[in-house]
Amino acid sequence: MKRPLIAVLNGPNLNMLGMRQPEVYGRATLDDVEQICIQAAERLDVAIDFRQTNGEGELVSWVQECRNRAQGIVINPAAYGHTSIALLDALLAVELPVIEVHISNIHRREEFRHHTYCSRAAAGIICGLGVRGYAMALQAMTDMILDENDR
Ligand code: DQA
């Protein structure tokens, strides 16, 4: 059987990881995060498509592309999670399992970070566990896809 494909999508400013507010986001770079995801995917025997964009429209288009292509979406929407109804609508439209990841604990931070539109489309959210949250999300997504395939 073909390995399931999980899209790992990253929103704005995550290309600055490593240099951006290290006291909040840590020292790992986006390349490090990609390596963590590649290693997790090998262990789990799934394929991943890892991407980052600063553009809201591009992120929406990438989510749309996942329909009929990927089996699940792991997304760190970054600030668009807090602001973008367009992104929520795209996540709802693709009818795929979604796991939302935030490196920092958004509930410990400013009030405006406590709400995310994306969470309405998410099966689950991992936040505050640093970049290891991505590997945990891939593990959970793989379990969810396998459960679904067993039905
Ligand atoms: C973030 C949290 C968001 O509030 C913020 O806008 C980000 C990163 C995180 O991974 O902790 O850019 O999504």
**Which CATH fold topology does 3-148 show?**
Rossmann fold (3.40.50)
Type of residue found at 108:
R
Domain residue ranges of the chain, discontinuous segments joined by +: 3-148
Q: What is residue 29's three-state secondary structure? A: coil
Count of helix runs (H) and strand runs (E) in the chain: 6, 5
pLDDT in tens, 55-110: 999 999 999 999 989 999 999 999 999 999 999 999 999 999 999 999 999 999 99
**Its pTM surpasses 0.85:** yes
Instruction: Report the sign of the C-alpha dihedral through residues 91, 16, 41, 101, in that order.
Output: negative
Closest atom of ligand 1 to CA, residue 109: 4
Nearest CA to ligand 1 atom 13: 78
Closest CA to 64 of 44, 42, 93: 93
Closest atom of ligand 1 to CA, residue 102: 10
Q: Is 103 annotated as a binding residue?
A: yes
Answer yes or no: is the C-beta of 78 below 6 A from any ligand 1 atom: yes
CB 50 within 8 A of CB 131: no
